């Protein structure tokens, strides 16, 4: 079979090449790839900035936003031939740390977790892949290709859960939610918050095109420009840009008792705010800044339910381009109108 592989930390080493069939040791469920979404992490790995091959190997099969069809469910039960499934990305560290020991691998404390397509385990950009049944999530069959959006939705399921859990420290329930960034994560955050029945606002740089239209189609309000120009103080902000100036302004803008959940990972961005002034604002307004990354099985389950509830035609508009695996290089090039690009291996 063929797979998209890369030699991590070596720029320009990605290839669509012949590899051996997945080994039974990788899981008892055999899956035919349908599609794999591309995200910034994949681009970073291909650029040689990130990623680790499996121990004793030099190349890594890329891809972590999976969707596949079960070819052979194996002996475990629970799956049937033809089921649409998505593979969980992270595996607990082998020590394990207390959080991994209780299934909270998203909260791993020693950093020794592994991740498919990113860190020491082959990913899902191969014609066939195997998975342990306990790490495969069944997708509502009516979603079809849209099931490829499940992995990004898990990031949002966890982030929203974190906001709700932090909010329990006092008499508080978010009514207004501001999402910063209208990329796939931001748009799915807006979709998720709407499913919770919240008043949702989304802020991004662009003023025209599909992003403002997609926000309005959710019944949410679109803003462009600075957060400081948003005419109210949000109860919760889901930060999805990782841009320093946006984060700094979000801290200024969050309402009293409000929660700012950071999901974007960026770098740099000196702010004009003095640290103790920022701290004083956070103290005097009882704000919480909480970082959220990855997702555990509970979030995968919640995300699969949320995706199944979401409007199919709206979700379909998030997938702006489909590329063949042999054209993976085009899939990794982002154009201004792209929201989510997927590499399609077979029909859903």
Interacting residue ranges for Zn ion, rule: CB under 5 A: 93, 97, 100, 108
The beta-carbon contacts of 315-319 under 8 Å, at least 24 apart in sequence, are 315/143, 315/146, 315/149, 315/191, 316/146, 317/210, 317/214, 317/217, 318/149, 318/184, 318/187, 318/188, 318/214, 319/145, 319/146, 319/148, 319/149
- When the beta carbons of 45 and 100 are compared against Zn ion, the nearer one is 100
The beta-carbon contacts of 205-212 under 8 Å, at least 24 apart in sequence, are 206/182, 209/336, 209/337, 210/317, 210/320, 210/337, 210/339, 211/182, 211/187, 211/339, 212/182
Q: How far apart are CA 171 and CA 168, in angstroms?
A: 7
- When the beta carbons of 97 and 179 are compared against Zn ion, the nearer one is 97
Query: Rounded to the nearest whole angstrom, what is the least distance from the CB of residue 295 to Zn ion in the complex?
Result: 14
Query: Rounded to the nearest whole angstrom, what is the least distance from the CB of residue 94 to Zn ion in the complex?
Result: 9
Task: Encode burial over 109-148: b for 16+ CB neighbours within 10 A, e otherwise.
Answer: eeeebbbbbbbbbbbbbbbbbbbebebbbbbeeebbbbbb
- When the beta carbons of 111 and 197 are compared against Zn ion, the nearer one is 111
Query: Rounded to the nearest whole angstrom, what is the least distance from the CB of residue 200 to Zn ion in the complex?
Result: 34
Whether the Cβ atoms of residue 264 and residue 181 lie closer than 8 Å to each other: yes
Query: Rounded to the nearest whole angstrom, what is the least distance from the CB of residue 88 to Zn ion in the complex?
Result: 15
Query: Rounded to the nearest whole angstrom, what is the least distance from the CB of residue 291 to Zn ion in the complex?
Result: 16
Structure tokens at 88: 């969980």
- When the beta carbons of 93 and 235 are compared against Zn ion, the nearer one is 93
Whether the Cβ atoms of residue 226 and residue 252 lie closer than 8 Å to each other: no
Query: Rounded to the nearest whole angstrom, what is the least distance from the CB of residue 95 to Zn ion in the complex?
Result: 6
Query: Rounded to the nearest whole angstrom, what is the least distance from the CB of residue 296 to Zn ion in the complex?
Result: 11
């Amino acid at each position: 079979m063929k797979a998209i592989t890369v030699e991590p930390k070596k720029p320009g080493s990605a290839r669509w090449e012949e590899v051996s069939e997945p080994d039974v040791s990788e899981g008892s469920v055999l899956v035919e790839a349908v599609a794999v979404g591309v995200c910034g992490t994949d681009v970073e790995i291909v650029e040689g900035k990130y990623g680790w091959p499996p121990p004793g190997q030099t190349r890594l099969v890329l891809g972590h936003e999976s969707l596949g069809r079960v070819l052979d469910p194996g002996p475990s039960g629970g799956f049937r031939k033809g089921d649409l499934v998505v593979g969980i990305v992270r595996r607990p560290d082998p020590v394990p740390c207390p959080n991994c020991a209780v299934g909270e691998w998203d909260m791993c404390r020693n950093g020794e977790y592994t991740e498919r397509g990113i860190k020491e385990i082959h990913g899902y950009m191969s014609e066939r892949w195997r998975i342990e049944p306990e790490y495969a999530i069944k997708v509502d069959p009516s979603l079809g290709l849209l099931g490829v959006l499940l992995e990004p939705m898990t990031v949002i399921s966890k982030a929203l859960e974190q906001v709700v859990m932090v909010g329990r420290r006092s008499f508080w329930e978010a009514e207004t939610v501001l999402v910063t960034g209208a990329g796939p994560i931001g748009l799915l955050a807006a979709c998720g918050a709407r499913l919770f029945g919240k008043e949702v606002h989304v802020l991004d740089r662009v003023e025209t095109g599909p992003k403002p239209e997609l926000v309005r189609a959710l019944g949410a309000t679109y803003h462009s420009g600075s957060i400081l120009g948003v005419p109210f103080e949000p109860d919760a902000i889901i930060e999805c840009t990782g841009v320093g100036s946006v984060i700094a302004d979000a801290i200024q803008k969050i309402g009293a008792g409000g929660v700012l959940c950071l999901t974007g990972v960026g770098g740099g961005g000196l702010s004009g705010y003095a640290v103790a002034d920022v701290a004083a604002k956070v103290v005097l307004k009882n704000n919480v800044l909480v970082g959220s990354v990855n997702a555990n099985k509970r979030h995968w389950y919640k995300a699969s339910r949320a995706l199944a509830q979401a409007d199919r035609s709206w979700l379909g508009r998030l997938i702006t381009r489909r590329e063949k695996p042999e054209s993976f290089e085009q899939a990794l090039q982002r154009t201004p109108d792209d929201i989510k690009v997927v590499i399609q291996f077979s029909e859903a």
